[in-house]
Amino acid sequence: MAANNKLSGSRSKHRKRMRLGIALGSGSARGWAHIGVLRALHEMGISPDIVVGTSAGALVGGSYVSGQLDALETWARSIGKLDVVRMMDIAPARGGVISGSRLFDAFRRIARDVEIEELPKAFTAVATDFETGREIWLQDGSLHDAVRASISVPGLFSPFSYDGAWLVDGGLVNPVPISVCRALGADQVIGVNLSGDLANRNTQLTQPASFFGDDPLALEDTLARLPPALRDRIEGPARFFLSPRSSEKEKAPSFFDVIAGSINIMQDRVTRSRMAGDPADILIEPRLEGIRLLDFDHAREAIMEGHAATERMRSALESLVGPQDAG
């Protein structure tokens, strides 16, 4: 906590430095953009005192606060489309199409677990209690467990059992957790909204027809490269959920399109409502309309746009925050 109170000599003589919070919003695969946002802020000499994340924002924010952002970025940039397919551990009986175990096991291998209360900065992951609909703030205990609970996208990833409750994605109740930053003592809050440009796009059905676009050979090529045991296990579900439609009549939204579109529309409305009552001091909104729910292999584009979106707000950020002690 001492680092939060450290002031430069000239500034400490005049006023106490305002505590800065950052609210990293939900967005599934678009969450890689948060890496670019945090990189750009670091280059500007801006270091948040309080980090709050919802869903993908919790994953990136937790990695940042625990000093593991480099490892996360290296892993994210290494993910290819074949890796995404391998992560799809189909488990509809567990309350989600995908268990999420393979995806999160990969994260566990590159990021060590720590106790949240031992982190050098204040950190909170936001989740939702499935039974009551209450917003849950995860502020202590295992960082891995907090992140896993926060990223349980309804209908896609299985809910996570945590302290006697079933938790799902925090984006259901607080997609950009500005209010949590304020409650934790932030005087100024930077919000990062990953869904601001997505709701209207989804209602217009302009996105590609499937995970593999309109190329009928892409899915076949991916399946052919899988180990036989894995291919046998996922081929049926993969064809059902991911195959491109071949006729105009069939170009209705796919299963994943419906989930993604519904979540985007809902979160956009919830975000607008919550920010109307408690707006961020600075709002960063990366333009991520080309990245869909499961496009985890698009880390490079997302990170670049997160960085660019933050650079577009450089003047406002520097005016709001001013110089910070790099220590």
Cα–Cα distance for residue pair 205/86, rounded to 1 Å: 27
Q: What distance in Å separates the CA atoms of residue 75 and residue 54, rounded to the nearest whole number?
A: 20
How long, in residues, is the chain?
A: 327
d(CA 22, CA 29): 19
pLDDT tens track for 138-193: 999 999 999 999 988 877 778 899 989 999 999 999 999 999 999 999 999 999 99
Are 280 and 189 spatial neighbours (Cβ–Cβ below 8 Å)? yes
> Tokens 């869903």 map to which residue?
55
Token look-up 């491109």 returns 244
- Among 55, 158, 195, 254, the active-site one is 55
Average the pLDDT over each of 36-40, 73-77, 224-228 and give the range with the smallest value: 224-228
* SS3 state at 214: coil
Write down the pTM of the prediction. Answer: 0.80
3-class DSSP assignment, residue 97: strand
Q: What is the amino acid identity at position 277?
A: G
**Which residue among 169, 268, 295, 297 is the active-site one?**
169
**Is the predicted pLDDT of residue 211 greater than 60, yes or no?**
no
CA atoms of 97 and 157, how far apart (whole Å): 6
Ramachandran category for residue 137: left, alpha or beta (phi over 0 → left; psi -120 to 50 → alpha): beta
Class of the CATH-defined domain 2-7+18-197+262-319: alpha beta
Averaged over 261-268, what is the pLDDT? 76
What are the domain boundaries of the chain?
2-7+18-197+262-319, 206-252
* 294 or 65, which is more confident: 65
- The tens digit of pLDDT for each residue in 221-248 reads 666 666 676 566 555 555 555 555 555 5
Q: Is 169 a catalytic residue?
A: yes
Structure tokens at 112: 């060590």
H runs (alpha helix) in the chain: 9-12, 33-43, 56-65, 69-78, 81-86, 101-110, 143-150, 178-183, 199-203, 216-224, 228-242, 255-277, 299-312, 314-321
Calpha distance 309→279 (Å, rounded) = 18
Provide DSSP, 277-298.
HS--SEEE----TT--TT-GGG
Q: CB-hemisphere CA count at 13 Å for 114?
A: 17
Asked if the model's pLDDT at residue 93 lies above 50, the reply is: no
